[in-house]
Amino acid sequence: MKRVVGIGYEAGDPAPTVVLKGAGAEAEAILDQARSRGDVAIVHDAALLSELYRVPVDGPIDRDLFPIMATLLAHVLDIDRRNEGNVHD
């Protein structure tokens, strides 16, 4: 069964938090909406998903996941920077 977890982080927060979770048809709908927006990074990592799915919605990410979350955030920010360079008015 397909599952998704949405993560949010605001500067100054002590840790990223789980902002949404879904499975099955709900997960598909969440992914479809994210793809249609075009500004939501989608990362496929089954092991990370398993860990994050244990965290309740609005719950903070465990400290042991901070290193991988930092790596993912750096990757997403790099993609955002490259995409900004490709925008043409």
The pLDDT value recorded for residue 89 is 46
Q: Going by DSSP bridges, is the β-strand pair 3-8/17-23 parallel, antiparallel, or unpaired?
A: antiparallel
The CATH number of whichever domain residue 9 belongs to comes to 3.40.1690.10
| Residue of 46, 57, 50 lying closest to 16 (CA atoms) | 57
The pLDDT value recorded for residue 3 is 96
The pLDDT value recorded for residue 87 is 53
Work out how many domains the chain is built from and give that number. Answer: 1
Can you say whether the dihedral through the CA atoms of 70, 71, 73, 77 is positive or negative?
A: positive
The pLDDT value recorded for residue 67 is 87
The pLDDT value recorded for residue 86 is 62
**Which residues of the chain register pLDDT less than 50?**
88-89
Q: 20 lies in which domain range?
A: 3-85
DSSP notation for 13-26: -SS-EEEEEEETHH
